[in-house]
């Protein structure tokens, strides 16, 4: 992939071999961001798991302390009172058979799909459409639930879904370059803490293989996952 001059200039300022604490990584990423728009800050974590084994797939959701800087577009597959509850909670699109038909026909302008359990028989038929995009509702991520209003509110408020890809990577947005450093530090630590919490018992050896922070248009900065959370947050808020 060919990179522009600004990216190469930023890359020349990064030691690609050394890992730093979270606060230092955040400051570097903010400094190296050069786009004219408010770049997204992303965290990429390579885990020591084998995603080919079902018990080692790492998947779930967490609420980032400072949010993501993005308002998710949410669709809800529900009928009756649950559908009205979803609308009242701020869902962007709500429906039952009609929404299933729209998605099957190509409607994919949303970031999160939530469904009530009774709708999964019909939503399951959308697996080929939603599955590859990571949008298929799943009880493990809280997107199949009877309490759709709560789910909508949480995902609108900064709750994010994570899942290992086919080689064991987890990639998540953790904010915007415009965020205060302390907020980005809190979000990064929240993700690392969550991934450690859900470590599969069958995963052996080193678990956090690499942790990298970057902005949309900037180079990656390696993080030392063992850096002290308390020290990082104290430095970031100073």
229 pLDDT exceeds 70?
Answer: no
Asked if 170 contacts 45 with a C-beta cutoff of 8 angstroms, the reply is: yes
pLDDT at 35: 87
Give, as one character, the DSSP assignment of residue 17: S
pLDDT at 11: 47
Question: Residue 70: pLDDT band by 50, 70, 90 thresholds?
Answer: confident
The mean pLDDT value for 8-28 works out to 73
For the chain, give the percent of residues with pLDDT over 70: 88
50 pLDDT exceeds 80?
Answer: yes
The mean pLDDT value for 34-63 works out to 93
pLDDT at 134: 87
Asked if 112 contacts 161 with a C-beta cutoff of 8 angstroms, the reply is: yes
Across 16-20, 21-25, 79-83, least confident range: 16-20
Greatest Cα pair distance in the chain:
58
Q: Please list the alpha-helical segments (H only) found in the chain.
A: 5-11, 22-32, 80-89, 97-104, 120-123, 127-130, 148-156, 181-197, 229-236
Q: Give the DSSP per-residue string, 152-173.
A: HHHHHTTEEEEE--TTSEEEEE
The mean pLDDT value for 83-103 works out to 97
14 pLDDT exceeds 60?
Answer: no
The beta-strand segments (E) located in the chain are 40-47, 59-63, 74-77, 93-95, 112-115, 159-163, 169-176, 208-215, 221-222
Mean pLDDT of the chain: 89
Q: Which residues pair with 161 in a beta bridge?
A: 61
pLDDT at 4: 54
Q: Domain 14-68+160-236: give its CATH code.
A: 3.30.190.20
Asked if 48 contacts 168 with a C-beta cutoff of 8 angstroms, the reply is: yes
233 pLDDT exceeds 80?
Answer: no
For residues 106 and 7, the model is more confident at 106
Q: Rounded CA gap, 54 and 232, in Å?
A: 35
227 pLDDT exceeds 90?
Answer: no
pLDDT in tens, 155-211: 988 888 899 999 999 999 999 999 999 999 999 999 999 999 999 999 999 999 999
Q: What is the dihedral of CA 111, 117, 122, 123, to 10 degrees?
A: 20
The beta-strand segments (E) located in 64-195 are 74-77, 93-95, 112-115, 159-163, 169-176
Question: Residue 38: pLDDT band by 50, 70, 90 thresholds?
Answer: very high
Across 12-21, 25-34, 227-236, least confident range: 227-236
Question: Residue 226: pLDDT band by 50, 70, 90 thresholds?
Answer: confident
Question: Residue 8: pLDDT band by 50, 70, 90 thresholds?
Answer: very low
Q: Rounded CA gap, 197 and 190, in Å?
A: 10
Asked if 83 contacts 98 with a C-beta cutoff of 8 angstroms, the reply is: no
**Domain definitions of the chain by residue range:** 14-68+160-236, 74-157
CATH class for the region spanning 74-157: alpha beta
């Amino acid at each position: 992939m060919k990179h522009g001059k600004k990216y190469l200039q930023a890359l020349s300022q990064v030691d690609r071999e050394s890992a730093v604490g979270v606060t230092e990584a955040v400051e570097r990423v903010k400094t190296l961001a050069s786009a004219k728009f408010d770049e997204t800050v992303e965290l990429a974590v390579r885990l020591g798991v084998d995603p080919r084994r079902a018990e080692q797939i790492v998947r779930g959701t967490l609420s980032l302390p400072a949010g993501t800087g993005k308002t998710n577009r949410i669709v809800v597959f529900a009928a009756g009172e649950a559908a009205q509850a979803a609308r009242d909670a701020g869902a962007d699109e709500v429906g039952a058979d009609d929404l299933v038909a729209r998605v099957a026909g190509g409607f994919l302008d949303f970031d999160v799909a939530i469904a009530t359990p009774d709708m999964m028989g019909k939503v399951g038929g959308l697996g080929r459409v939603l599955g590859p995009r990571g949008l298929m509702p799943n009880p493990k991520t809280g997107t199949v639930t009877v309490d759709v209003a709560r789910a909508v509110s949480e995902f609108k408020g900064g709750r994010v879904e994570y899942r290992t890809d086919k080689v064991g990577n987890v990639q998540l947005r953790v904010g915007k370059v415009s965020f205060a450093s302390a907020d980005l530090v809190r979000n990064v630590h929240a993700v690392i803490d969550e991934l450690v919490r859900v470590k599969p018992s069958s995963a052996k050896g080193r678990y956090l293989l690499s942790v990298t922070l970057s902005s949309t248009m900037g180079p990656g900065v390696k993080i030392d996952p063992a850096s002290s959370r308390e020290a990082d947050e104290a430095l970031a808020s100073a």
